[in-house]
Structure 1
Amino acid sequence: MSVSERDPVSGYATTGHDWNGIKELNSPIPRIVLWFLAVTHIYAVISWVLLPSWPLIDTHTTGLVGVDQKTAVATDIASADAARADWMSALATEDYDSLRANSDLMARAKVTAAAVFGQNCQVCHQKGGRGGPGFPGLSDDIWLWGGTAEQIETTLRHGINSPDPDTHFAPMPAFGRDGLLSRPEITTLTDYVMTLQKGVIAGDTSEGAVLFQANCVGCHGEDAKGVEGTGAQNLTDTDWLYGGDAATIRQTLLNGRQGVMPAWQNRLSDADIRMLALYVEGLSKGSGDAE
């Protein structure tokens, strides 16, 4: 009969495994681990009986306690809506001048609107409305469709280049892709647009100026400063929606731009839309959360 080897320090028998002189002990599982496993298994069985747990074909077991988190959340939301019904109703119905004059309501709306903005707008326009490539900044005084709350509400409701029948519609043509201009003409026009930060020179008869007059002034204006309410941006300043470097301008002329903003009137309530309009108006005036 073989005699098992025992560790002289712990007294436990070894398993016979040896790794470079290190021998594995056949030590028992600690009792605290066994107790932990027992308690967690008992807790799981009790939870299966008392709480909603097992899925069925088209429902689930509800448990003896009858806990229903979905109903609880719906109740909490209904309670919150009831608590703010008075001032939310005012947001949906009163004119903007009355709302702006109501400092208490504006203070409440600002806090709530910041959350609504974060949930729905911030992913594109960034925190504080600072914007980014392809997404206009909302914290300055440069507007393509108007920066009053009334104008912002219209943009929010119907979107830009969206499927809404009343959307703002202003796509930038693809002059190169659609064969409206040749590649050499695109290059000439790109070079000309790069000079517009110095302003349009009256009586300029250069090829670039002629191409601009023939193809661009209908939207961007004779002075290239754009026309608010048409979606055509000012080409004489340093604020560019997609970028003002030569490569980006060339891409814009070649392939056009068809940026889309969703129409929110079927996604948000009237009160939420008008609250957002006031909030965004405040961002451009420095009274919003522009962090």
Structure 2
Amino acid sequence: MSEKHIDELSGVDTTGHEWDGIRELNNPLPRWWVWTFYATILWALAYTIAYPAWPMLSSATKGVLGYSSRVEIKNELAAAQAAKGEYAAAIASKPIDEILADEKLRLFATSAGAAAFKVNCVQCHGSGASGSAGYPNLNDDDWLWGGKPEDILTTISHGIRFTADDATRFSEMPAFADALDKEQIAAAAAFVVSLSGTPSNPALVEPGKTVFADNCASCHGEDAKGMRDLGAPNLTDAIWLRGKDEAAIAAQIATPRHGIMPAWAGRLGETTVKELTVYVHSLGGGE
């Protein structure tokens, strides 16, 4: 047995390990650290006995306290569902104006409507509701059928040109290729462009104005600002559903394309439709 070696500088005995002339001092860990370490071991053992911990072939140890994170989550979800049901019942029983007047109901409906929008509406209107060619932007102030909450509710409930719903919004622009020649259509397109911009051939504006007055004013109005009762768009605000260049406008005059929006009341129910209405109205384009 080797003789114990005491370090000359510190006076502490060494472990007998030496590397390149450097000896390892035999300094024990502080007692508080050792007891803390032992306590963590005891705590770990107690925890694995009290709570589910050790994995087995087809399950895990249950723990003597009977705790289950799945049960806890299930209970929390049930509580959340109960709270949600209370708000949903209130939304179902109240008209849209009362929902908007109640701050708590409005906030709940806005949040629920945003979730419903992401599931059912983003495919056409986009995740930010900004739309695309042929699909309206719901963030602006341009509304074919009106942007008041009641108007939005009717549109979502019954859709646009959705023939399976008798109360659907319905309007169709006639195909003027059957009534007007190419020159007249080009002139009408030039006039429409002139309402918010500069046409490629300004000389066509005046004859186009006559064509518009004879064929288009009955729906779009003499001032071309549209008629919401007919779903006829405002042609003076430079907001276009099918494209803003003269070729796109001429094509829409000649052979118009008509979109279809489903009626959502039968699919989603009255409560969800109201929530969608509140959300869409909150986007900033409502009236």
Q: TM-score, normalised by structure 2?
A: 0.66
Count of equivalent residues: 209
Does structure 1 residue 191 correspond to structure 2 residue 194?
A: no
Measured against aligned partners, the alpha-carbon deviations of 1:175-229 in whole angstroms (never above 9, x if no partner) come to: 11xx121222212222222212269xxxx99321221111100110000111223
Counterpart of 1:166? 167
| Structure 1 alignment gaps of length 5 or more | 1-45, 51-75, 287-291
Measured against aligned partners, the alpha-carbon deviations of 1:130-166 in whole angstroms (never above 9, x if no partner) come to: 1211111111222111112111110011111111111
Structure 1 Cα separation of the partners of residues 77 and 231 of structure 2? 38
In structure 2, do the counterparts of structure 1 residues 182 and 79 end up closer, same or farther at CA, with 3 Å as the change threshold? farther
Structure 2 Cα separation of the partners of residues 77 and 160 of structure 1? 37
Counterpart of 2:263? 263
Q: 3-state SS of the aligned residue for 2:89? A: helix
| Largest Rg, 1 or 2 | 2
| 1:183 partner amino acid | K
**Equivalent residues of 2:158, 2:168 under 8 A apart:** yes
**Equivalent residues of 1:138, 1:280 under 8 A apart:** yes
Does structure 1 residue 148 correspond to structure 2 residue 151?
A: no
Counterpart of 1:129? 129
Q: 3-state SS of the aligned residue for 2:210? A: helix
Structure 2 Cα separation of the partners of residues 83 and 131 of structure 1? 34
Structure 1 Cα separation of the partners of residues 252 and 88 of structure 2? 42
Structure 1 Cα separation of the partners of residues 96 and 266 of structure 2? 21
**Equivalent residues of 2:129, 2:137 under 8 A apart:** yes
Structure 2 Cα separation of the partners of residues 192 and 236 of structure 1? 10
Does structure 1 residue 102 correspond to structure 2 residue 118?
A: no
**Equivalent residues of 1:198, 1:236 under 8 A apart:** no
**Equivalent residues of 1:174, 1:257 under 8 A apart:** no
Q: TM-score, normalised by structure 1?
A: 0.65
| Structure 2 alignment gaps of length 5 or more | 1-56, 60-75, 199-203
Structure 2 Cα separation of the partners of residues 166 and 96 of structure 1? 19
Q: 3-state SS of the aligned residue for 2:277? A: helix
What pairs with 1:1-291 in structure 2 (closer than 5 Å)? Answer: 82-163=82-163, 164-176=165-177, 179-197=178-196, 206-284=206-284
| 2:173 partner amino acid | M
The offset of 1:84, in angstroms, is 1.9
Counterpart of 1:26? none
Structure 2 Cα separation of the partners of residues 84 and 91 of structure 1? 11
In structure 2, do the counterparts of structure 1 residues 223 and 271 end up closer, same or farther at CA, with 3 Å as the change threshold? same
In structure 2, do the counterparts of structure 1 residues 252 and 94 end up closer, same or farther at CA, with 3 Å as the change threshold? same
In structure 2, do the counterparts of structure 1 residues 225 and 184 end up closer, same or farther at CA, with 3 Å as the change threshold? same
